[in-house]
Amino acid sequence: MTDTVDQPSQNNTSTVADTSDTEELEEEVQELEQQLTDLHEKFVEVQTEKKKYKQRLDRVTRENKKLKQSPMFVATVQELLAEQEILIRQHGNNQEAVTEVTAEMHEELEPQDRVAIDNSLNVVKSLTKETDVRAQVMTVDAKPDVTYTDIGGLDSQLQEVRETVELPLTNPGQFEEIGVRPPNGVLLHGPPGTGKTLIAKAVANQTDATFIQLAGSDLAQKFIGEGAKLVRNLFETAREQEPAVIFIDEIDAIGTTRTESKTSGDAEVQRTLMQLLHEMDGFEDRGDVSIIAATNRFDMLDDAILRPGRFDRLIEVPAPDTDGKAEIFEIHTREMNVGDGIDTHELALMVDEDTTGSDIQAICTEAGMYAIRNDRTEITMDDFQNAYAKVSDSREMQTGPVEGVAFA
Ligand SMILES: Nc1ncnc2c1ncn2[C@@H]1O[C@H](COP(=O)(O)OP(=O)(O)OP(=O)(O)O)[C@@H](O)[C@H]1O
Ligand SMILES: [Mg+2]
């Protein structure tokens, strides 16, 4: 180092070299900067591209999902064949087909299992016993959100249902001690919209029982050839989840009086009904399972269902009397902003005698709509009157003229 300092000439040349070095470096910096800008531009480009791909991916994923969700057919596995193939029989048309499945599925499936298949007969998924039955005919609800306070004007009916259904579930020991057989269940009957389903839900809520709801019409219509099996599954599911309340709505669909016609559909309905009666009779191993059934076609029910020992109580759920109507108006306006001058008793007198709970619910909702349409935040008596006129109009269209329609 000291050598360099002692030789000025050399020092000079090095300065020249330094200058050109700086220039070179500056050039290099410029070049690098340019490169950086270029790269940055490219980066932005790639980002845009990436975004585009991402959007496309999202779209494809959505489409894929939709494809998977599109309606699928149900088939039963008949036979497991070699080479990952299975023989299936489609429900409804009874056609048999051989289709290929994945190795895992081939391992998993057994004859008689039910599977969901798509249009091209690919097995999309296997329906396990649970999802199968539940998804198709029953809804299992751990806790319906209806309580006794949501039901108006049915005090004596509620009392009776509670005695027959709730007590055995909440207090089974009492029956054992006294040595009486706990009741099988109740059959609620009455006009549409009077609160039968509400009662069943409220009982399930009160007892912390699993609530398994099943529509008789589903049993009869959708599952040709399988009604009896479904009834068996229904009681199995209930036993697995005890305490449970089985609620068979529209029981008339499987329990109507035998008709003369001897179509296979009728025979099928008969088999379903027989299975149901069998399950109800086989009380010993039914466990903590109560049955509530409902119908608005009591006149059509088969005697076999009404025979003593099947349902312990046949409870009529009528259209509400005036006090009942007032109570129901009270319940359905609880959350509404109604004017001070409005008296639910007056409302109860305004509607005709046959007005049911579900009519009242419709009237209240409609009254709210009138207020909204008129830009008011409070519901007036006029709103209720208009609502009543509208609801009874639409009821007339469905059921023919309603007698004694008059309002204040
Ligand atoms: N007694 C009632 N108290 C309060 N609300 C009621 C009453 N009855 C009916 N409602 C209202 O009407 C609706 C329908 O009632 P629900 O489903 O219980 O009728 P249902 O008797 O089972 O009729 P269906 O025979 O047609 O099955 C309820 O969700 C509720 O809002
Ligand atoms: Mg109902």
* Distance between Cα 17 and ligand 1 center (Å): 99
In this predicted structure, what is the pLDDT of residue 284? 52
In which residue ranges of the chain is CATH 3.40.50.300 found?
Answer: 136-316
Enumerate residues lining ligand 1, CB below 6 A: 151-154, 192-198, 294, 296, 328, 331, 357-358, 361
DSSP string computed for 19-45? HHHHHHHHHHHHHHHHHHHHHHHHHHH
CATH for 322-399 (1.10.1740.10, 1.10.8.60, 3.30.110.30, 1.10.10.60): 1.10.8.60
Task: Identify the nearest ligand to the CA of 198 by its number.
Answer: 1
* Distance between Cα 253 and ligand 2 center (Å): 13
| Pair of tokens at residue 367 | 């009254």
* Distance between Cα 119 and ligand 1 center (Å): 39
% pLDDT > 70, the chain: 81
Structural fold of domain 73-127: OB fold (Dihydrolipoamide Acetyltransferase, E2P) (2.40.50)
130 pLDDT above the threshold of 70:
no
| Sheet with 244-249, edge to edge strand ranges | 138-141, 210-215, 244-249, 289-295, 185-189, 313-316
15 pLDDT above the threshold of 80:
no
In which residue ranges of the chain is CATH 1.10.8.60 found?
Answer: 322-399
Determine whether domain 136-316 maps to CATH 3.40.640.10. no
In which residue ranges of the chain is CATH 2.40.50.140 found?
Answer: 73-127
Least confident of 34-48, 297-311, 383-397: 297-311
204 pLDDT above the threshold of 90:
no
Q: What is the DSSP letter of 312?
A: S
Helix (H, G, I), strand (E, B) or coil at 277: helix
Query: Burial level of 352, CB count in 10 A (0-12/13-18/19+)?
Result: middle
In this predicted structure, what is the pLDDT of residue 287? 64
123 pLDDT above the threshold of 80:
yes
Least confident of 20-29, 54-63, 129-138: 129-138
- Per-residue pLDDT band for 224 (boundaries 50, 70, 90) equals low
pTM for the model stands at: 0.64
- Per-residue pLDDT band for 220 (boundaries 50, 70, 90) equals low
**Residues of 207-218 as b/e, b for ≥16 C-beta within 10 angstroms?**
bebbbbbbbbeb
Whether the Cβ atoms of residue 169 and residue 238 lie closer than 8 Å to each other: no
